[in-house]
Amino acid sequence: MANDQLPEPLALFDGAACALAITREDGTILRVNQCFSDWLGIPVAELHGRRFQDLLTMGGRIFHQTHLAPLMQVQGSITEVKLDLRHRDGHAVTILLNAVKREHASGVRHELALFGTTDRDKYERELLNARKLAEALLLEKTAAQTALQHAQAELSQAYIKAQRRALFAEQMVAIISHDLKNPLTAIKMAADFLARGERTAKETQLIGHIGQSSERAQRMIADLLDFTQARVGVGIGVSPSPLDLHDVTRRAVAELRVAFPRATLVHRTVGAGDACLDGDRLQQIIGNLVANSVAYGDLQHPITITSRLDHDGASLSVHNHGPVIADALMGVLFEPMTRGTGQDSEVRSVGLGLFIVREIAKAHGGYVVVSSQVGSGTTFTACLQAAY
């Protein structure tokens, strides 16, 4: 049988169905094929001499500097790394990158192969839609079964409650594993990257707040697992240590002023500050109560945070001038996924803040009380047992 004539190597390179590139070790592009040029809308001649990492989005550049470049140095190759390139018109082009490092007589070269993700992303979306449809059908079936079992009301209520707990736990795991960890890691990496350059005092302060807040948020993500345990009766753990209650509150309020620039936050202190409490948990209490006041209070008036330490123990109070809380809500105010109002739901949280505050107070041997009256506003107070 006669041999089929194959195309020349250069023709195979230029006409490949994926984007190909060859760069120096520093990322300088030596050669790209037509597919690479077409994907970015940039002529081949203009790509020569540019650095590959300069074609990435800002997040991609940081990831390249902190992960990809070191991996190429250590392993000599990378496989199926997802990145976003910038098209000439500004939109992002998502690709999967494979790369290998080779030694040549003329020096080290990086050989890159880039594959489009459009079909893959579409397939993943279809899988997700199919799952949602299946879940929706399951919920419809559950509702139909419940309607047929009115005679078993108590059993039906127990079943619904169990389903809600399962959904709650699933949402927490999803938030922890994807929705929060990845963005916070990117924020922390970006803050560290920005901190390396020369900055004004104000910029340095702001970058410091970003880093501190993201670190605290990462700790709170871990705490969400404790909250899931609290829902099934295990409770939230605390690690008390000697601290200054007023100083912890002052630092928390300073960070919250950056997070909520439209709100006026006033910190007041009563009594001495030395106590033995969990500082991170205290900042969670303050953050959740302030966020609640920002969401439901009247921002034309200040929000007052009071840290108190006396013979009765420690307490943290947050007062706002918002509308009175309805009596019907008082009984369920500290339950998870409960909101103060059904309006403006797009700006409200899922309703975990007050539940978390209550559980942290319980873990300190304390409790939470709320006072809401016409003319005097609303005050939430977390009372804690504090060793001195």
Let me know the angle formed at the C-alpha of 232 by 230 and 238, rounded to the nearest 5 degrees. Answer: 20
> Does residue 133 belong to any structural domain of this protein?
no
The CATH number for 296's domain is 3.30.565.10
Residues contacting 376, CB < 8 A, separation 6+: none
4 in a domain, yes or no? no
DSSP helix/strand/coil, 372: strand
Give yes or no: residues 294 and 255 share one domain: yes
Report yes or no on 278 lying in a domain: yes
Domain end marker among 182, 207, 231: 231
Residues 181 and 66 both lie in one domain: no
Q: Answer yes or no: are the C-beta atoms of 386 and 275 closer than 8 Å.
A: yes
Plot region of 20 (φ>0 → left; ψ -120 to 50 → alpha; else → beta): beta
Listed residues 116, 141, 172: the one ending a domain: 116
Q: Does residue 127 sit within a domain?
A: no
pLDDT at residue 236, rounded to an integer: 76
- 220, 222, 223, 225 alpha-carbon torsion, rounded to 10°: 140
Name the band, by pLDDT with cuts 50, 70 and 90, for residue 98: very high
CA 378 to chain centre: 29
Question: CA-CA distance, 129 to 134, in Å (whole number)?
Answer: 9
Check whether residue 69 and residue 199 sit in a common domain. Answer: no
Task: Dig out the tokens for 22 from the structure.
Answer: 């060859």
How long, in residues, is the chain?
A: 388
In eight-state DSSP terms, residue 318 is E
Q: In this model, does residue 166 exceed pLDDT 50?
A: yes
Strands of 229-302 (E only): list them.
241-244, 265-270, 274-277
DSSP 34: H
Question: Are 195 and 247 found together in one domain?
Answer: no
Confidence of residue 312 (pLDDT cuts 50, 70, 90): confident
Within-domain flag for 49: yes
Domain-located, residue 9 = no
Any domain includes 333 = yes
> What is the model's pLDDT at position 190?
83
Q: Do 273 and 333 fall into the same domain?
A: yes
Which domain CATH number covers 79?
A: 3.30.450.20
Q: Is residue 131 part of a domain?
A: no
Say if residue 112 is in the same domain as residue 195.
Answer: no
For residue 347, what pLDDT is reported?
Answer: 36
pLDDT tens column, 25-59: 999 999 999 999 999 999 999 999 999 999 999 98
Collapse the DSSP code of 3 into the 3-class scheme (helix H, G, I; strand E, B; otherwise coil) and give the result. coil
Determine the Cα angle at 209 with ends 353 and 84, to 5°: 90
**107 and 58 in a common domain:** yes
CA-CA-CA-CA torsion sign (202, 207, 211, 216): positive
Q: In this predicted model, what pLDDT tens digit does every residue of 210-241 receive, in sequence order?
A: 877 776 676 567 556 656 666 655 567 788 99
Q: Are residues 89 and 198 in the same domain?
A: no
Look at residues 211, 231, 251 and tell me which one is the last residue of a structural domain.
Answer: 231
Q: Are 87 and 111 in contact (CB under 8 A)?
A: no
Main-chain phi, psi angles of 310, to 5 degrees? -145, -165
Radius of gyration of the chain from Cα atoms? 28
pLDDT at 6 > cutoff 80: no
The DSSP code sequence of 15-33 is T-SSEEEEEETT-BEEEE-
Residues 334 and 246 in one domain: yes
Q: Taking a C-beta distance cutoff of 8 angstroms, is the pair 220, 342 a contact?
A: no
pLDDT digits (tens, 9 = 90+) for 267-280: 999 998 899 999 98
Residue 371's pLDDT band, with cuts at 50, 70 and 90, is very high
Number of domains in the chain: 3
The predicted-structure confidence for 199-212, as pLDDT tens digits, reads as follows 888 888 888 788 77
**Residue range of the domain that includes 169:** 149-231
